[in-house]
Amino acid sequence: MIRPGQFVMLEVPGRVRPYLRRAYSVADARPDTGQVELLVKTIGAGTAALEELIEESEVRLLGPLGNGFGIDGLPAGARVAVVAGGIGAAPFPLLLRALAKRAIAADFFFGGRGETDLALLDRFEGHVPGETFLSTDDGSAGERGRVTDLFRRRAQAGRYARLYACGPMPMFAALAPIAADLRLPSEFSTEAEMGCGFGACLGCVIPGMDKPFIISCTEGPNLPPERVKW
């Protein structure tokens, strides 16, 4: 059973470049058909290798890995906030569907550099009751500016039972103090370059507040922001 916020390590067989597997959040999963959906943006050798694949090519997945988002303890009727930066939105379809099953509402804050970063918006809408707020750096969609500023203006203390966020490190660094000010219990889905994905290589550590390093793949990737030195 795949939990929202877990990830898989994907290998395109028969290649030495990329040699290491790449970590991808599970965007959606259908236990009935065995299908797993990943949302991928081409940025480096790993994602380029995927782009070159033709339909029905074989890839190998290791997983599900990581801790997943904590959604237990949220009462029915609660409202949460989901903040996503660009392809950082990848883990949220599965989360939103899990929230819908528990009758939990979610406001979705989605930011990107430009309109194309928000191209997959329809994958996140309609799962649960709630509002959608958009922002882009260049103003080509939604408000011009940062999604973290958008969130800061909309969020009030007590409005949300929890905050789930996924995006680039600068977004987390800006969002962590906002969540702290609101005393909002939060989980940030951290992105660190992973060698193995299951706690063996210790390559994906993140500086921690209460200990030197947090092992992102096994202790996370979803972490309360107050545990992390951003």
Could you say whether residue 212 binds another protein (CB under 8 A)? yes
Which of 63, 66, 88, 93: binder of another protein (CB under 8 A)? 63
Q: Enumerate residues 6+ apart whose C-beta is below 8 A from 129.
A: 105, 106
Which of 198, 224, 227, 230: binder of another protein (CB under 8 A)? 198
Q: In what order do the strands lie in the sheet with 22-25?
A: 22-25, 7-11, 60-65
Strand positions, DSSP E, the chain:
7-11, 22-25, 28-30, 35-37, 60-65, 79-85, 105-112, 132-136, 143-144, 162-166, 186-189, 205-207, 213-215, 222-223
Q: Are 77 and 161 in contact (CB under 8 A)?
A: no
Interface stretch with another protein, choices 59-67, 79-87, 117-125, 139-147 (CB under 8 A) = 59-67
Which residue from 212, 187, 213, 189 is spatially nearest to 201, judged by alpha carbons?
213
Which of 48, 53, 119, 200: binder of another protein (CB under 8 A)? 200
Could you say whether residue 47 binds another protein (CB under 8 A)? no
Could you say whether residue 84 binds another protein (CB under 8 A)? no
Which of 126, 168, 170, 207: binder of another protein (CB under 8 A)? 207
Interface stretch with another protein, choices 89-97, 98-106, 111-119, 188-196 (CB under 8 A) = 188-196
Could you say whether residue 195 binds another protein (CB under 8 A)? yes
Residue tagged 């609101």 (tokens): 182
Helix axes 169-181, 147-154, angle to 10 degrees: 10
Which residue from 56, 66, 50, 4 is spatially nearest to 29, judged by alpha carbons?
4
Nearest residue (CB) to another protein, 147 versus 215: 215
Which of 102, 192, 224, 227: binder of another protein (CB under 8 A)? 192
Could you say whether residue 201 binds another protein (CB under 8 A)? yes
Question: Within positions 123 to 162, which residues make up the interface with another protein, using CB under 8 A?
Answer: none
Interface stretch with another protein, choices 90-98, 124-132, 139-147, 193-201 (CB under 8 A) = 193-201
Residues near another protein (CB under 8 A): 8, 11, 16-21, 45, 61-65, 192-193, 195-196, 198-207, 212-213
